[in-house]
């Protein structure tokens, strides 16, 4: 399954990836508007989630050779 996905993602351009990021951003805004209690979590918890989600891509892009 992942091999197929990797082959398909090679067809995407930088513009396509930017559009995906934009759609995720706006989907997040919709989710927060639907569930405002999600914002009641403290910033440290959101920071931990951000670091947890970004650690592998950052490592793969900047550190791994």
pLDDT given for residue 29 in this prediction: 92
Q: Write down the H helix ranges in the chain.
A: 2-9, 14-34, 43-58
pLDDT, one tens digit per residue, over 7-54 is 888 888 999 999 999 999 999 999 989 988 878 877 888 889 889 999
Is pTM beyond 0.75? Reply is no
- 51 CB-side CA count, 13 A: 6
Cα(45)–Cα(34) distance, integer angstroms: 20
Residue 4 vs residues 10, 20, 48: alpha-carbon distances, Å: 10, 19, 31
């Amino acid at each position: 399954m992942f091999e197929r996905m990797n082959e398909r993602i090679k067809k995407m351009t930088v513009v396509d990836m930017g559009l995906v990021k934009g759609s995720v951003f706006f989907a997040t805004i919709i989710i927060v508007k639907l569930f405002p209690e999600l914002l009641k979590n403290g910033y440290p918890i959101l920071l931990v989630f951000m670091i947890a989600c970004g650690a592998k891509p950052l490592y793969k892009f900047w550190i791994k050779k």
